[in-house]
């Protein structure tokens, strides 16, 4: 029976979680990126080779790139988008020359991910990432002060946001703003004015325009991908809703059908993220899997627990609203059809035990992910043996 490839996200030499830690966790593949290269610039061949050599010296394999960021000029299809397309294609060629062929990316405008809390307290004393609509609405209405924001929220959320406007201290507001702005990938500090300007740009593009720009991007890189055996895997929106007036185009089954059919070539694939998709109140994660299963080239496995408002925290990997047993059952069945194993990684993990006293990338402390990988590994073995 073919096993899935167990991988681990590693942020590079400055990651507080070392490659030795990764080996002890039992992963064999590394998911990494050249975060020191400014967005839109070509990834130099020498830098790719250097990172690959570091990984291989530790007895591991650089299995997936996560990610080669798509520059905002491409997402907005601005005048200089062509330059960034050419740079992107050269980065893909350089990766392929080094034997790296699976690339994860997202097409979320401005914000790569959004959480309102990075240290949500669990009942066992560990800490999780958390998204709360009331806090987001408060930020949108009373901190960002986006024009027309009140039209995007139900009355109950508006009332709770108003209550928070009388309760929050300056320290609370500063922390919330820092958490939300952390989701903006940038080499420089981002201000509220920068965010407001970016939101304004996307008001004119809208969902249909952003969808068209994604298909344009994929069509522009298609030949390069096919010639170099590159598999592009789009990551779902996180969370899978329009937020702060920004459109979302990779959030539900309809979106993924549109993406796959829009550029119906084998390079155009999906990173199946159970946490991002599972956060959608109306999403059936298993149905979405069956729509995209032939194009799943990478998987993020994590779980979420939602309430009636759609607020969610990241739960233990096997204990949340996502039916991880049946997800793993479908994933392992699909893997049996493949010549090359599908890589997956334990996506995020609770900050727990000794990691509570350490500073790590949000969601990427060692011990919580080690627990998640061990649980997922056991689940896979149980299914394969049944």
Active site residues: 235, 273, 300, 347-348, 364
Q: How far is CA 272 from the centre of its chain?
A: 10
Classify burial at 140, counting beta carbons within 10 Å of its beta carbon; exposed 0-12, middle 13-18, buried 19 or more: buried
Q: Do the Cβ atoms of 135 and 143 come closer than 8 Å?
A: no
Residue 339 to residues 60, 231, 297, 328, Cα–Cα distance (Å): 20, 15, 12, 18
Q: Do the Cβ atoms of 246 and 111 come closer than 8 Å?
A: yes
DSSP character at residue 355: G
Give, in degrees to the nearest 5, the angle at Cα 198 between 196 and 204: 105
Q: CA–CA separation, 151 vs 128, rounded Å?
A: 30
Question: Within a 10 A sphere around the Cβ of 126, how many other Cβ atoms?
Answer: 21
Instruction: Find tokens 């690339």 and name the residue.
Output: 103
Counting every residue written for the chain, the total comes to: 386
Question: Within a 10 A sphere around the Cβ of 115, how many other Cβ atoms?
Answer: 24
Q: CA–CA separation, 186 vs 66, rounded Å?
A: 16
């Amino acid at each position: 029976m073919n096993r899935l490839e167990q991988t681990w996200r590693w942020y590079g030499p400055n990651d507080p979680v070392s490659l030795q830690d990764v080996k002890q966790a039992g992963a064999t593949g590394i998911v990494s990126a050249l975060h020191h290269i400014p967005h839109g610039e070509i990834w130099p061949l020498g830098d790719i080779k250097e990172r690959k050599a570091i990984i291989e010296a530790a007895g591991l394999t650089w299995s997936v790139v996560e990610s080669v960021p798509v520059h905002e000029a491409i997402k907005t299809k601005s005048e200089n988008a062509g330059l960034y397309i050419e740079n992107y294609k050269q980065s893909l060629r350089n990766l392929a020359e080094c034997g790296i062929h699976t690339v994860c990316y997202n097409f979320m405008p401005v914000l790569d991910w959004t959480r309102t809390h990075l240290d949500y307290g669990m009942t066992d004393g560990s800490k999780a990432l958390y998204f709360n609509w009331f806090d987001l609405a408060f930020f949108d209405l009373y901190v960002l002060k986006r024009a027309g924001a009140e039209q995007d929220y139900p009355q109950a959320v508006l009332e709770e946001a108003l209550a928070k406007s009388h309760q929050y201290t300056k320290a609370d507001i500063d922390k919330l703003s820092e958490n939300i702005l952390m989701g903006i990938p940038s080499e420089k500090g981002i201000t509220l004015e920068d965010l407001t300007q970016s939101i304004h740009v996307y008001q004119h593009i809208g969902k249909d325009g952003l969808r068209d720009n994604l298909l344009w991007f994929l069509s522009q890189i298609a030949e390069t991908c096919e010639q170099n055996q590159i598999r592009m895997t789009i990551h779902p929106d996180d969370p899978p809703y329009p937020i702060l007036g920004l459109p979302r185009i990779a959030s539900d089954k309809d979106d993924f059908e549109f993406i796959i059919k829009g550029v119906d070539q084998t390079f155009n694939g999906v990173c199946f993220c159970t946490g991002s998709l599972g956060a959608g109140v109306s999403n059936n994660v298993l149905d979405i899997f069956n729509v995209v299963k032939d194009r799943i080239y990478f998987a993020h496995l994590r779980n979420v627990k939602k309430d009636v408002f759609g607020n969610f925290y990241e739960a233990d990997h096997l204990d949340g609203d996502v039916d991880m047993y049946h997800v793993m059952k479908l994933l392992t069945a699909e893997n049996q059809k493949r010549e090359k194993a599908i890589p997956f990684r334990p996506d995020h993990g609770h900050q727990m035990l000794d990691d509570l006293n350490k500073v790590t990338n949000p969601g990427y402390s060692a011990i919580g992910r080690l627990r998640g990988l061990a649980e997922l590994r056991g689940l896979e073995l149980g299914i394969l043996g049944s």
